[in-house]
Amino acid sequence: MLLISYIYHSCFAVEDDKVLIVFDYHQDDDRGTLHRLIDTRVNRKLYFVVSHFHEDHYSPEILEYSDATLLVSYDTQKRRRIPANVPAAILRPGDRYEDENLRLDALRSTDVGISSLVTLSDGTTIYHAGDNNNWYFSHDEDEHIRCSVDEMEGMFMSNLREVRNLTKRVDHVMFPVDPRLEGEMLRGACQWLQQIKTGHFYPMHTWEGWKEVNAGVEELRELFPEVHIGEKIYFRS
C-alpha cells in the first residue's frame, strides 16, 4: 500500500513496502513525522529527491544519511557545494535515474532545477513539481523570475507537453498552490489538471497561507470532481 505524508511546505514522504522517498526536504513538521518515518523504515530503501537549490527545498541534513540514495538537481550540487565524496546522482532536465525500485525522469521547471516524474516498480506514477508552475504574479514580487507573463505561460505549457510525452496519466501529483500569487494562485494547477489526467492532487509550496490554499482546494474540487484533491495524505501520530 502506498502511503503519502505531507511534511512541510514542499516536502512529502512517499512509502511502500520497498522504498521511502523524500521530496524536497527543508524541515520536519512540529511532530517530527519525517524523522520517525526514517527511523522506523526497517527494510525500505531511503531516497532523497532534491528539485533545486533554494533553501526552502533543501537541507544539508540529507548528507548525514550514508545509506540514502541522493537524487539531486545539478544546480543543488553546484550552489550547495555537495562534497564530491558524497555519492549522488546529479540530474539535469532530460536525465533518467533507474534502479530495481524506481525510475526517475528529470524534467524541466519554469524556475531553477528540475521537476520529477517517478515510476515505482508496480507502475505507480508520482510527479513532484519542485518549482515548476505558471508563476503569474500580479506585481513584481518575485525578483528571481525574470521573464514576461507571456514567456512564463509559454514555458509552463511547454513543460506540460513534456510530461504528456512521457505519460498520459499521473497517479499522484504534488504541485505548487502558492498564496503569494493571490488571484492567480490556481492558474498553474488548473492548467495541469486540464492537460494531464490526474488521480490524486496535493497542493504544496503553501508557506503559511493554508487559509487561502484551503479555499482554493475547495474551488479545485468543484472544477475537477473526478480528481482526488488533497486526499489520501496520511499524517502519523
Bridge partners, 48 (sequence order): 22, 70
Mean pLDDT by 10 residues, the chain (237 residues): 92 96 96 95 96 95 96 95 90 98 97 97 97 84 68 95 96 95 93 97 89 90 94 45
3-state secondary structure of 42: coil
Q: So what's the pLDDT on residue 236?
A: 39
**What is the C-alpha to C-alpha distance for residues 115 and 226, in angstroms, rounded to an integer?**
24
Q: b/e string for 72-111 if b means 16 or more Cβ within 10 A?
A: bbbbbbebbebeeeeebbbbebebebeeebbebbbbbbbb
Calculate the CA dihedral of residues 35, 88, 90, 148 and round it to 10 degrees: 20
Domain boundaries along the sequence of the chain = 3-229
Question: What is the assigned CATH class of domain 3-229?
Answer: alpha beta
**What is the C-alpha to C-alpha distance for residues 189 and 204, in angstroms, rounded to an integer?**
11
**What is the C-alpha to C-alpha distance for residues 154 and 148, in angstroms, rounded to an integer?**
10
Amino acid letter for position 236: R
Within 8 A by CB and 6+ apart from 102, the residues are 19, 21, 47, 118, 119, 120, 121
Q: What's the predicted TM-score (pTM) here? A: 0.94
Burial of 143 (0-12, 13-18, 19+ CB in 10 A): exposed
Q: So what's the pLDDT on residue 99?
A: 97
**What is the C-alpha to C-alpha distance for residues 144 and 237, in angstroms, rounded to an integer?**
38
- Closest residue by Cα to residue 154 from 138, 124, 134: 134
Supply the angle between the helices 187-195 and 149-166 in degrees, to the nearest 10.
Answer: 30
**What is the C-alpha to C-alpha distance for residues 195 and 218, in angstroms, rounded to an integer?**
20
